[in-house]
Amino acid sequence: MAHTILITGAGNGLGLDLTKKFLELGWQVFAGYHRSAERLKALTPVASGAAGSNLMVVPLDVTKTESIRRAFETVSSATPALDILLNNAGVHLEDKHTPFAELDFTDGHLEKSMAVNAFGPLRVVQQFLPLLEAGEGRQIINISSEAGSIGDCWRKQEFAYCMSKAALNMQTKILHNCLQPHGFRLLAIHPGWMRTDMGGADADIEAEEAAEGIVKLITARDRGARQGQNLDDEPGDGLYCDYQGKPLRW
């Protein structure tokens, strides 16, 4: 049986590249998207022409429980189990250069940032838990950021983004405490500063490079889980790292 993964926010950027990588490995990929699926639909011929049948494009708004429930029904009609949930959907809604005194906290960007980046993954985990419990991998991966680290915080701006990612990190730790006794493995990953719509043209790396590193981390942990290895005894607590596997401070 093919390995199965659900990727949220798969319509562009890192999510799109992650979808490509897992299709190339022959995984069954359920690609959740919010606005547009055009780039996903263009992936049909990928991976020697065979991967098209391994891709299911799923409408998914992580801020709405009803949308997540409909996505669960769609995915569960196609597979009895999920090995991995990759919470990638995220937003960055702030101008980095606006002085603090001029920031508009009435325009809804604070609430939307938390709704997508922090509460969205929590909703998705809850609704998809039955499929994950039926899978062999039992991995939940949250795409976080070094911006969510309190110990290494250097920023003087980007309140909504940084606070939402710090909340996502806390969620990762709590879910680990809750689900690890049932065989689940949690991981929060900083993908690096990527040249995407969110990261901008001046960023350090292409999304493809980040995706390659993340896929290596995930597949190594998946192999370990299937072999009964304890992958939680890593440097630190093994729950927060960058796309190359380097541990980060909470």
Catalytic residue IDs: 161, 165
By the 8 A CB rule, do 249 and 198 touch? no
Residue 30, strand partner residues: 6, 56
Q: How many CB atoms lie within 10 A of CB 112?
A: 15
* Sign for the pseudo-dihedral over CA of 16, 85, 187, 230: negative
- DSSP-based three-state secondary structure for 65: helix
195-to-13, 21, 28, 191 alpha-carbon distances in Å:
8, 18, 27, 11
**CB-based contacts of 235, cutoff 8 Å, min separation 6:** 247
Dist CA 244 CA 41 (whole Å): 29
Supply 182's token pair: 């049932």
CB–CB of 37/29 below 8 Å? no
